[in-house]
């Protein structure tokens, strides 16, 4: 067992580590027990779905605005078309519960800057700028409550390609002229305040790509979150090693168990936001094995779905989430509330532990087989 090393090769990027005094923090108990969460990347980028002006844009779908260098004035027009009439908060929360996910993290504002919630600090939000006119986060708050899933919010605190002072857009704005501290003070903090005031208890705020964040800015945002909702956690991508738990790089599972609280964000295909042409779906057995691998090393698996512009979670994602849920129905005691297992580094075998119980997860040679779980009996005491 090792603690997290954060060099270029490691699973956890420097700055995304867990604050050392969070290791024993009882506020993380639900997070440690959860082991599995559902991530949702949903925004205007679901409309182009990977294509701009007849061209397929390479890379992840939610990065289309940057990759295609779409001017703000053009990208903004997407809001007028955004009308996800099939959005059903209850169906999404039901899917998370069926999948066995204990928490759901949804993008409230991604790097494109469009706010998927009603905010007083910008008209560029789903309630004021779209024909849809509803706040999906409000609807999800009650649906998650009903289905026993903790609601959590993703918030892009550094990159904002719409805001003149946010990081990342150098095709509309002069990066060197930006007032990033002003953007954090007058925009990020007030919006985080809204997210933690208007939607009831929030499990965690999932910050991303800290880049320009100074230690002071990271610390102040953590303090703001904890002041508004003392039980709310902050992930490692707040930056500067100040998160309540460590975040790995995307889709990177550490090679060994870590003695910190950690999470891996992961995709089912190769994109986070919906892309019409991405059909590279991982198999159900691959996903369950990854969940087991993560749990056996003491981490949480945060698995993403990318709904369409109509508000529908793609069927291949639904099928896979349900398959994971079925496996967890039968084997959840070997995942939820467990810690890293005593046997590490053995091919085809993973272990998890709950107090004196040790669970052995066997991966068969047939890659399509789901892991088989055995509870190991304690050895009789020798005389």
From the list 56-64, 210-218, 307-315, 337-345, the region that binds ligand FHN by CB under 6 A is 56-64
Q: How far apart are CA 298 and CA 284, in angstroms?
A: 21
Interface with ligand FHN (CB under 6 A), residue total 9
Q: CB nearer to ligand FHN: give 63 or 301.
A: 63
From the list 55-63, 91-99, 281-289, 341-349, the region that binds ligand FHN by CB under 6 A is 55-63
Q: Does 250 interact with ligand FHN (rule: CB under 6 A)?
A: yes
Q: Does 265 interact with ligand FHN (rule: CB under 6 A)?
A: yes
Q: Which residue is nearest to ligand FHN (CB)?
A: 265
Contact 220, 166 (CB under 8 A): no
Q: Does 364 interact with ligand FHN (rule: CB under 6 A)?
A: no
Q: Does 209 interact with ligand FHN (rule: CB under 6 A)?
A: yes
Q: How far apart are CA 222 and CA 212, in angstroms?
A: 16
Q: CB nearer to ligand FHN: give 135 or 247.
A: 247
From the list 49-57, 60-68, 84-92, 324-332, the region that binds ligand FHN by CB under 6 A is 60-68
Q: Listing from the earlier edge strand, what are the strands of the sheet with 150-155?
A: 233-234, 204-207, 150-155, 103-109, 36-40, 299-305, 262-266, 246-247
CB of 371 to ligand FHN, least distance (A): 25
Q: How far apart are CA 13 and CA 9, in angstroms?
A: 9
Contact 108, 126 (CB under 8 A): no
Q: How far apart are CA 218 and CA 205, in angstroms?
A: 13
Surface-to-core class of residue 249, CB atoms within 10 Å of its CB (0-12 exposed, 13-18 middle, 19+ buried): middle
Q: CB nearer to ligand FHN: give 151 or 334.
A: 151
Q: Is the dihedral of CA 192, 193, 195, 200 positive or negative?
A: positive
From the list 59-67, 190-198, 324-332, 371-379, the region that binds ligand FHN by CB under 6 A is 59-67
- Candidate list 19, 31, 37, 62; residue touching ligand FHN; CB under 6 A: 62
- Candidate list 75, 272, 359, 363; residue touching ligand FHN; CB under 6 A: 272
Q: How far apart are CA 364 and CA 283, in angstroms?
A: 15
Q: Report residue 232 CA to chain centroid gap.
A: 15
Contact 179, 163 (CB under 8 A): no
Q: How far apart are CA 301 and CA 226, in angstroms?
A: 24
CB of 141 to ligand FHN, least distance (A): 21
Q: Report residue 261 CA to chain centroid gap.
A: 15
CB of 79 to ligand FHN, least distance (A): 19
Q: CB nearer to ligand FHN: give 135 or 208.
A: 208
CB of 39 to ligand FHN, least distance (A): 7
- The contact pattern for ligand FHN, residues 116-135, with x = CB under 6 A and - = no contact, is --------------------
Q: Does 208 interact with ligand FHN (rule: CB under 6 A)?
A: yes
**Interface residues toward ligand FHN, by CB under 6 A:** 60, 62-63, 111, 208-209, 250, 265, 272
């Amino acid at each position: 067992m090792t603690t997290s090393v954060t060099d270029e090769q490691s699973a956890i990027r420097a700055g995304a580590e867990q604050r050392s005094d969070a290791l024993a923090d009882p506020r993380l108990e639900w997070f440690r027990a959860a082991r599995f969460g559902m991530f949702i990347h949903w925004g205007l980028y679901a409309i182009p779905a990977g294509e701009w002006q007849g061209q397929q844009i390479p890379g992840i779908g939610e990065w289309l605005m940057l990759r295609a260098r779409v001017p703000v004035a053009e990208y903004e027009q997407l809001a007028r078309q955004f009308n996800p009439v099939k959005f059903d908060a209850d169906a999404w929360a039901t899917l998370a519960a069926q999948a066995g996910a204990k928490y759901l993290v949804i993008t409230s504002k991604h790097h494109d800057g469009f706010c998927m919630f009603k905010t007083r600090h910008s008209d560029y939000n789903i309630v004021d700028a779209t024909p849809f006119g509803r706040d999906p986060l409000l609807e999800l708050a009650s649906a998650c409550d009903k289905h026993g899933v903790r609601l959590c919010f993703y918030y892009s605190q550094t990159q904002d390609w719409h805001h003149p002072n946010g990081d990342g857009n150098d095709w509309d704005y002069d990066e060197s002229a930006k007032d990033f501290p002003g953007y954090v003070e007058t925009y990020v903090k007030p919006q985080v305040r809204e997210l933690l005031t208007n939607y009831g208890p929030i499990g965690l705020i999932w910050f991303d790509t800290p880049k320009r964040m100074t230690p002071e800015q990271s610390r102040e945002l953590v303090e703001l979150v904890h002041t508004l909702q003392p039980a709310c956690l902050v992930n490692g991508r707040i930056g500067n090693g100040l998160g309540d738990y460590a975040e790995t790089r995307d889709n990177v599972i550490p090679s060994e168990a870590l003695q910190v609280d950690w999470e891996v964000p992961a995709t089912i295909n190769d994109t986070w936001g919906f892309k019409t042409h991405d059909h590279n779906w991982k198999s159900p057995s691959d996903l369950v094995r990854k969940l087991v691998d993560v749990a056996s090393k003491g981490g949480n698996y945060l698995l993403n779905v990318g709904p369409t512009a109509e508000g529908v979670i793609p069927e291949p994602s639904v099928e896979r989430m349900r398959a994971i849920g079925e496996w967890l129905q039968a084997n959840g005691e070997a995942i939820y509330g467990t810690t890293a297992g005593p046997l590490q580094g053995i091919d085809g075998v993973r272990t998890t532990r709950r107090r004196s119980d040790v669970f052995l997860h066997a991966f068969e040679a047939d890659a399509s087989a789901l892991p088989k779980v055995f509870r190991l009996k304690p050895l009789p005491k020798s005389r």
